[in-house]
């Protein structure tokens, strides 16, 4: 690690000669607009269909392809962070993102627009693991909660305002300005980072195992593609393309995992799972992601169907919860630093379970305020569980495993998103179909709406069971201590 004074400091945040705030701002400005751009496009898909004359299945590749590239590139981030300096990797990543954004803004045809979007995904996929790794190296464990809370603010606030901002831009300026608007901020982030960002990691240049890279690409790529394709087929999970993709992905990941345990320098060191709090954190992280993703898909369907709301009205009703999540992330981070994970995770998992139970009992007469309040409670519990659990898990890892720990968690995000959405939507559709098959008047519009409600209820009951599992896990969580510190105390004894 670069030494910035005559005295050696274990963490740069303890060094008074190092200006930590510009480093944080350099990283977070880039991350905010990269993640914002991830959700900006969702509301413009219908516009793009008309502009380029493409079908729903084709235009969905703007979202599916984005997740696919992220799922493929993120596992390699652990090695990349050990091959290049912080400055080199961040500036290169932002440059790739900016090039992709420029291609999208000027794209004359849909294929070129898609290429630009996939290049954007390459940059976006690497940003979050870079940020996590840098902050783990800069800040000591007792100060990471608040910092990770700020990262949570960026990660959650950007998607929250994305759809609303996108609607305004598309309506008044046109879809190209979704990319044009982001460009100056991306360029500013590059210039700001070039001036202020310093190197905080060691460049060790470990050997890259080509077979592991190939297995990772096939495994994660096929899994994300398979689950993302479920909604595009009438056969759902029984579609041959879905089954073959998931089967190939699962087989590749099994071989990949066995190989990582045998390599001295693995592409993705799965030994991170030998640390109990890290494993706890990953499981809680996945449960929260699936609960959140399911709500972001299922609730709008429920509000626009049985409750007969417009898409914009449904989006506005969910906005307070999303904003609350972003704003509370730094607060939860501060509480984590002060009181540890248990005080947050146990009551938050109770709130999560209670919210899922309430949503599992919705019907055609449910008041809108119930939905708004329930979603706010859901997102409040997400802010109290996700980043504290993730930070506590990463805190237990030794420094050499920081890149691998952040890469594993970040890789699981698009994978969990693809799996969560496809599984929950499939469960909802299956329940709706079963309801209609046993109804006396299946063509009655009221019965059709009741069938959708039945599907929503089942999804949230399953989510309730997952929340109960999260509560059980939270009872066994304790404040994690880095392995080096634990080993040092053992030697002293």
Q: pLDDT tens for residues 445-468? A: 888 888 888 888 888 898 899 899
What are the tokens at 432? 């709706």
445-474 vs 342-359: helix axis angle to the nearest 10? 160
Q: In terms of domains, do 159 and 284 share one?
A: no
Q: What is the mean pLDDT of residues 478-488?
A: 65
What's the pLDDT at 163?
65
**Which region among 8-17, 229-238, 276-285, 420-429 has the lowest average model confidence (pLDDT)?**
8-17
Residue 5 lies in a domain: no
- Pick the range with the lowest mean pLDDT from 5-9, 61-65, 220-224, 413-417: 5-9
In the chain, how many H helices and how many E strands? Answer: 19, 0
Residue of 375, 374, 381, 376 lying closest to 344 (CA atoms): 381
Return d(Cα 378, Cα 464) in angstroms, integer: 11
pLDDT band at residue 5 using 50, 70 and 90 as cut-offs: very low
182 and 225 share one domain:
no
What 3-state class would DSSP assign to 191? helix
Tens digit of each residue's pLDDT (9 = 90 or more) over 306-341? 787 776 677 778 788 878 887 888 888 888 888 888
266, 286, 307 - which closes a domain: 266
**Are residue 243 and residue 330 in the same domain, yes or no?**
no
Query: pLDDT tier at 411 (50, 70, 90 boundaries)?
Result: confident
100 and 194 share one domain:
yes
Task: Provide the residue range defining the domain that includes 140.
Answer: 11-205
Residue 397 tokens, joined? 């890892």
50 in helix, strand or coil? helix
Q: What pLDDT sits at residue 13?
A: 56
Q: Within this chain, do residues 187 and 216 fall inside the same structural domain, yes or no? A: no
Residue 134's CATH number: 1.20.1250.20
How many CB atoms neighbour CB 83 within 10 A? 14
Task: Let me know whether 418 and 291 are in one domain.
Answer: yes
Compute the radius of gyration of the chain from its Cα atoms.
23
Answer whether residue 349 is part of any domain. Answer: yes
Which residue in this structure is represented by tokens 């809680």? 284
Check residue 239 and report its DSSP letter: S
Q: Where are the alpha helices (DSSP H) in 139-267?
A: 144-172, 177-180, 182-196, 210-228, 240-262
The predicted pLDDT at position 285 comes to 84
Domain boundary among 205, 234, 255: 205
Residue 42 pLDDT level (bands cut at 50, 70, 90): low
Q: 83-89 — which CB contacts under 8 Å span 24+ positions?
A: 83/203, 83/205, 83/206, 83/208, 84/203, 85/199, 85/201, 85/203, 86/130, 86/134, 86/197, 86/198, 86/199, 86/200, 86/201, 87/193, 87/194, 87/197, 87/198, 87/199, 89/126, 89/130
pLDDT at site 312: 67
Residues 159 and 226 in one domain: no
Domain co-membership, 361 together with 386? yes
Residue 3 placed within a domain: no
6 domain-assigned: no
| Shared domain check, 240 and 159 | no
pLDDT of residue 11: 59
Distance CA 428, CA 435 (A): 11
For residues 336 and 454, membership in a common domain is answered with yes
Give the end of a domain, one of 205, 224, 250.
Answer: 205
pLDDT of 492 reads 43
Say what the pTM is: 0.75
- Cα separation of 162 and 17, whole Å? 38
Domain count for the chain, please give it: 3
Q: Is residue 54 located within the same domain as residue 176? A: yes
């Amino acid at each position: 690690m670069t030494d910035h004074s005559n005295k050696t400091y274990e963490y740069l945040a303890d060094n008074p000669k190092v200006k930590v705030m510009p480093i944080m701002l350099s990283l977070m400005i880039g991350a905010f607009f990269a993640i914002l751009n991830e959700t900006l496009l969702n509301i413009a898909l219908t516009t793009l269909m008309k502009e380029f004359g493409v079908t729903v299945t084709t235009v969905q590749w703007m979202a599916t392809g984005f997740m696919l590239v992220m799922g493929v590139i993120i596992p390699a981030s652990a090695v990349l962070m050990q091959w290049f300096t912080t400055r080199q990797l961040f500036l290169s990543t932002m440059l790739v993102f900016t090039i992709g954004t420029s291609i999208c803004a000027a794209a004359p045809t849909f294929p070129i627009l898609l290429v630009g979007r996939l290049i954007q995904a390459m940059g976006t996929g690497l940003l979050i693991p870079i940020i996590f790794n840098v902050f783990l190296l800069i800040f000591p464990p007792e100060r990471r909660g608040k910092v990770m809370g700020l990262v949570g603010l960026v990660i959650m606030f950007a998607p929250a305002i994305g759809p609303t901002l996108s609607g305004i831009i598309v309506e008044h300026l046109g879809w190209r300005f979704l990319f044009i608007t982001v460009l100056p901020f991306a360029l500013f982030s590059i210039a700001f980072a070039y001036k202020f960002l310093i190197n905080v990691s060691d460049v060790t240049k470990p050997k890259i195992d080509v077979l592991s890279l190939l297995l990772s690409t096939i495994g994660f790529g096929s899994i994300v593609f398979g689950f993302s394709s479920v909604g595009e087929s009438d056969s759902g999970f029984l579609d041959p393309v879905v089954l073959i993709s998931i089967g190939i992905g699962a087989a590749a990941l099994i071989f990949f995992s066995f190989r990582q345990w045998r390599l001295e320098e693995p592409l993705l060191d799965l030994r991170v799972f030998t640390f109990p709090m890290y494993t706890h954190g990953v499981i809680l992280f996945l449960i929260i992601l699936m609960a959140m993703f399911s709500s972001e898909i299922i609730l709008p369907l429920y509000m626009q169907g049985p409750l007969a709301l417009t898409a914009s009205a449904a989006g506005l009703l969910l906005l307070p919860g999303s904003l609350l999540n972003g704003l509370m992330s730094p607060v939860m981070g501060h509480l984590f630093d002060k009181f540890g994970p248990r005080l947050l995770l146990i009551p938050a998992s109770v709130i999560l379970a209670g919210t899922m139970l309430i949503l599992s009992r919705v019907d055609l007469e449910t008041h809108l305020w119930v939905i708004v309040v329930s979603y706010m409670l859901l997102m409040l519990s997400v802010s109290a569980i996700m980043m504290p659990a993730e930070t506590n898990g990463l805190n237990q890892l030794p420094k050499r495993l920081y890149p691998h720990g952040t890469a594993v968690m970040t890789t699981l995000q698009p994978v969990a998103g693809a799996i969560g959405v496809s599984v929950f939507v499939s469960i909802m559709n299956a329940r709706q179909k079963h309801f209609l098959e046993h109804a006396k008047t299946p063509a009655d519009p009221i019965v059709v709406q009741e069938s959708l409600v039945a599907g929503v209820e089942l999804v949230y009951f399953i989510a309730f069971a997952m929340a109960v599992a999260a509560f059980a896990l939270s009872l066994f969580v304790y404040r994690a201590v880095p392995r080096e510190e634990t080993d040092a105390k053992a030697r002293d004894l």
